[in-house]
Structure 1
Amino acid sequence: MKKTLLLGLLIGFCTTLFAQPSQKFSAYLFTYFTGDKGGEAIRFALSNDGYHFRALNNNQPVINSAEISATGGVRDPHIMRAADGKTFYMVATDMNTEKFGWGPDSSMVLLKSTDLIHWTSKTIDITKTFKKFDGVNRVWAPQTIYDPKVKKYMIYWSMRFGEEADKIYYAYANKDFTGLETEPKQLFFKPDGGACIDGDIVYKDKKYYLFFKTEGSGAGIKIAVSDKLTSGYVLRDKYVQQTKDPVEGAGTFKLNDGSGYILMYDMYTQGKYQFTRTTDLENFKLIDDEVSMDFHPRHGTVMPITEKEAAVLKAKWGKSE
């Protein structure tokens, strides 16, 4: 009995001693596009602190839009790290305003990488994949989140039928992240019937916070909260942007030092981004005077990365400072 107990303690000690350490995130990768007509391509920028960002590759695309999209342009890129810690998923709107104007747009692009440099991709046309959605004319701003309950990756995006208001839908990606294995379902709609676009979900303290842009009776960024990922979202009747100018493309990321979260968004009529900080995802403080960028992004997202991953990106696309 004593020998068995001693052996068990020894095995536990060795397991702890030689276990792989958890990844330490010490930098941030900002993926974004720069605008209409020529700017609809994925670009990267780096930051060491989440406040000061520098564009990689001289602010030029790191992926050729013509090779990954049906239209030759992509917008609204969202990037995330997979649950395995070493795979990366990116999704984007398949859209080229220079060639096709503002739609109809019915496709999204799914990308996958293991090194942040080389990406495989697949274009998904919602109207062709799911016949019941052949009346859709907007498939905008897709994002991905891991659903631990079903152990699958959920893609959610804004979608519109005809002249109806935009609503947020979701579907689960297949194992290879090359398509959707479930039919789209409605995730959220604005109670007053107004449009809602640019969804961004953050998980904190066992709750899901859905940031989105409202349109119709009032416009701006609001939050709906639920304790379940795919249902039950309750709207908070409060705008969270810290400006009276029009905004869109909310993106929220957690600071590596644990000091809170950054909510950023595109002030698209002013040609600039605005940054705010929060600790509770309810009260937001303007911090534009603490932020600097050497580029002008549009809708994009930020993902924490390791020092090693930042070094790989710098080696490929140039220094960030």
Structure 2
Amino acid sequence: MKFSVKKHFLLNRRTFTSAVCTLILAATLPAAAQQRRVKKAAPVCSAYLFTYFTGNQPAKEQICFAVSNDGYQFRALNGNNPVISSPAISETGGVRDPHILRGADGKTFYMVVTDMLSSKGWNSNRGMVLLKSTDLVNWTSSAINLQKKYAGQDSLLRVWAPQTIYDEQAKKYMIYFSVKHGNQPDKIVYAYANKDFTDLEGEPRQLFFNPENAACIDGDIQQKDGRFYLFFKTEDRRPGIKIATSDKLTSGYVMQSNDYVQQTDRPVEGAGTFKLNDGSGYILMYDMYTSGKYQFTKTTDFKHFKAIDEQISLDFHPRHGTILPITAEELARLTAKW
């Protein structure tokens, strides 16, 4: 076998050059490489933001904020006055049922609200408003009218209580909400938001099929231990909150039981769940809409719920809203503004 000294030298020179380049790149670009390979750590949350509306009059169908340091004692910002003008963002002039979410990047926030004035009737609204922010103070918005956007929606009567969750499989934000067509019961459906969070992609699909074919509204999804828990208000027999579960975000939801989970005999709606920052469990709260009050319950397993009314303090009267864990810096920014 012939052996070329020149060829051997060239090969070794290439190997040496490649190794040197690799070392130089590793020394000069480690931060960029790490950012590409390592998932950003989640923000350390030590406070909470409660977003809500306050009543059934136009002046009260607007977005309000309250904050808390412990998840139990909340104080309204801006004197319990709106922090975002409904006429400036909505088609109807009013908004209800705000839901707020921290994005997958940890620093972008998404809020969705029902585009509605109740004074025009409970079957009067056709859409929602999508909002986006990077600081919780300044928001961009887009109003979406489903009857105008999609064909064959002549019988659409209402679009209620949208919420957003990040679909880790699809790498998109999923918006789910209830719709009512003609004499059919309200159904919870979903669609994905576009990249800019200004519109919906594709046709809405039904998310949950109630085995009793009863009306389902006010969906709220919480993920725990690899399962998805869908809290919703059903109108069968008596209005109340039940739970359906699935190991997939967009399908396969089965009733956890036929029991109601609210800890009151009074009518309730607008379930909202959030995880406590201290790791002690989760809060399920809901709007006791005929009683003029809110009830908070605590759970660790989404099967057993205990009312904790004696631990809760609110200096305002919220209607259907949601709570987001926030950082100390975000709390300072909100209180400095309002």
TM over 0.5, shorter chain = yes
What does residue 67 of structure 2 align with? 46
Kindly indicate whether the alpha-carbon contact (under 8 Å) linking 1:189 and 1:196 is maintained by their aligned counterparts in 2.
no
What are the Cα deviations for residues 135-181 of structure 1, in whole angstroms up to 9, with x where unaligned? 21110000000000010000000100012100100000000000001
Q: 2:248 aligns with which of 228, 236, 239?
A: 228
Kindly indicate whether the alpha-carbon contact (under 8 Å) linking 2:219 and 2:232 is maintained by their aligned counterparts in 1.
yes
Kindly indicate whether the alpha-carbon contact (under 8 Å) linking 2:50 and 2:321 is maintained by their aligned counterparts in 1.
yes
| Secondary structure at 1:75 match in 2 | strand
Cα distance 1:186–1:41, how it changes in 2: closer, same or farther (>3 A)? same
- Give the Cα separation in 1 of the matches to 2:184 and 2:166: 29
What does residue 188 of structure 1 align with? 208
| Secondary structure at 1:117 match in 2 | coil
In the TM superposition, 1:57-136 aligns within 5 A as: 57-98=78-119, 100-136=120-156
| Secondary structure at 1:182 match in 2 | strand
What are the Cα deviations for residues 273-293 of structure 1, in whole angstroms up to 9, with x where unaligned? 000000001100010000000
What are the Cα deviations for residues 100-136 of structure 1, in whole angstroms up to 9, with x where unaligned? 1223211100000111111110000011111133321
Larger Rg: 2
What are the Cα deviations for residues 197-243 of structure 1, in whole angstroms up to 9, with x where unaligned? 00000000000000000103332100000000000000121110000
- Give the Cα separation in 2 of the matches to 1:307 and 1:76: 26
Kindly indicate whether the alpha-carbon contact (under 8 Å) linking 2:126 and 2:157 is maintained by their aligned counterparts in 1.
yes
Alignment of 1:146 with 2:146, yes or no, is no
Shift of 1:313: 0.3
Kindly indicate whether the alpha-carbon contact (under 8 Å) linking 1:127 and 1:136 is maintained by their aligned counterparts in 2.
yes
Pairwise CA RMSD of aligned residues? 1.8
- Give the Cα separation in 1 of the matches to 2:125 and 2:41: 44
Q: 1:270 aligns with which of 269, 283, 291?
A: 291
Q: What is the letter of the counterpart of residue 336 of structure 2? A: A
Q: 2:77 aligns with which of 23, 39, 56?
A: 56
In the TM superposition, 1:247-262 aligns within 5 A as: 247-262=268-283
What does residue 308 of structure 1 align with? 329
Cα distance 1:157–1:21, how it changes in 2: closer, same or farther (>3 A)? closer
| Secondary structure at 1:243 match in 2 | coil
Alignment of 1:296 with 2:288, yes or no, is no
Kindly indicate whether the alpha-carbon contact (under 8 Å) linking 1:32 and 1:44 is maintained by their aligned counterparts in 2.
yes
Shift of 1:22: 4.1
How many residues matched? Answer: 307
Q: What is the letter of the counterpart of residue 239 of structure 1? A: Y
Alignment of 1:177 with 2:191, yes or no, is no
TM-score (norm 1): 0.92
- Give the Cα separation in 2 of the matches to 1:22 and 1:116: 17
| Secondary structure at 1:175 match in 2 | coil
Q: Which runs of 4+ in 1 moved over 3 A?
A: 17-22
Q: What is the letter of the counterpart of residue 141 of structure 1? A: A
| Secondary structure at 1:309 match in 2 | helix
- Give the Cα separation in 1 of the matches to 2:268 and 2:295: 9
| Secondary structure at 2:142 match in 1 | strand
TM-score (norm 2): 0.87
Shift of 1:97: 1.8
Of all paired residues, the percent bearing the same amino acid is 65
Q: What is the letter of the counterpart of residue 82 of structure 2? A: P
Kindly indicate whether the alpha-carbon contact (under 8 Å) linking 1:160 and 1:166 is maintained by their aligned counterparts in 2.
yes
Alignment of 1:159 with 2:185, yes or no, is no
| Secondary structure at 1:67 match in 2 | helix
Gaps of 5+ in 1: none
Shift of 1:189: 2.8
